[in-house]
Amino acid sequence: MSAPARPSTTFGVRTLGADDLPDALALLRRDPVDNVYVASRIRTGGLDRVTLGCPVWGYEEGGRLRAMLHAGSNMVPVNADARACAAFAAFAGYQRMASSIIGPAEAAMTLYHELVRQWGTGWADARDIRSRQPVMLLDGDPTIPSDPRVRPATMDLWQPYADAAVAMYTEEVGQSPAVGGSDVSYRIYIRSLIQQGRSYAIVEDGRVIFKADIGSATSSVCQVQGVWVAPDRRGQGIAAPAMAAVIRQARARWPIVTLYVNDFNAPALATYRRAGMRQVGEFATILY
């Protein structure tokens, strides 16, 4: 079967380069919480697709940069309205390379529906669609005491911490990070977080019973991910005081702590609210 023809449209989309960095950073600053993932990546890797590991597409109107799309295995829209999403979808083409679409709910869902409308099956066959994921934030002190056992993970803890991270990923995403190969790259990623002092744990008898990571960070905002309590320790009141400890320690480096969570995960939502976090927005995730 031949590939579908590209829609007849003026894209207004191009791959951004180093000269576009000031405009890209200005766009990211419009919403530092929603854009923390892309901002963190660009602050580290710039707009060079080799250094960054993927291209960043820009959508222009009237010669000005209006929206962007992190076009890697995670497709993440930035400041993208319906016109930008339609243009990004047209530019993307029928062959899906991404494993997920993540971002502010309206933009992520609009991009997904445009990709399906324009290109069909390759983009339609999502494994899971999580259309409502509250974005939580705390920019002050937690409202409950911290669990004093929470400490930054160190390299001597790498193996049990990585095992806990793989268990968390498998439970959260619905498949192991080893799908399609080995989980080595994921474990290397976890190792890098530990080396950067961005992983936190409670350890009992050499076993990780609580973990959380700072997955993305800019100068003022960090995003917590990978929060996990060992299954046999759930329901014992560990999570909220542990999260309070993570937030307090993280705020020594980043004034604003944020995360997003599935709306159907009532225990997690209750934990974050108990720690003092409030909802400030909504994300969506489409998993392939």
The pLDDT value given to residue 7? 43
pLDDT for 163 beyond 90: yes
Residue type, 91: F
Asked whether residue 85 carries a pLDDT value surpassing 80, the answer given is yes
Q: From the CB of residue 176, how many other CB atoms can be counted at a distance below 10 Å? A: 15
Strands 74-78 and 207-217: unpaired
Structure-token pair, residue 142: 């937690």
Average pLDDT over residues 165-171: 93
Spatial distance between the Cα atoms of 218 and 235, rounded to a whole number of angstroms: 33
pLDDT given for residue 192 in this prediction: 95
Neighbours of 259 (CB within 10 A): 26
Distance CA 269, CA 282 (A): 13
pTM of the shown model: 0.92
241 Cβ contact list (under 8 Å, min separation 6): 144, 145, 146, 147
Nearest alpha-carbon partner for 4 in 85, 112, 90: 90
What beta strand segments (E) does 109-169 contain? 128-138, 151-152
Residue 1: what pLDDT?
45
Query: Alpha-carbon torsion 102, 107, 111, 113, what sign?
Result: positive
- Give per-residue pLDDT as tens, 27-59: 999 999 999 999 999 999 999 999 999 999 999
What pLDDT is stored for residue 143 in this prediction? Answer: 93
Which domains are present in the chain?
13-125 (3.40.630), 138-281 (3.40.630.30)
Angle 255-260-261 from CA coordinates, rounded to 5°: 140
211, two tokens: 């973990």
The rounded distance, in Å, linking the Cα atoms of 41 and 53 is: 10
pLDDT tens digits, 176-233 = 887 767 688 999 999 999 999 999 999 999 999 999 999 999 999 999 999 999 999 9
25 vs 259: CA distance, rounded Å: 21
The tokens of 249 are what? 């320690």
**What does each C-alpha distance from 92 to 51, 75, 247, 252 come to in angstroms?**
21, 10, 38, 40
Of the pLDDT bands very low, low, confident and very high (cuts 50, 70, 90), residue 157 is very high
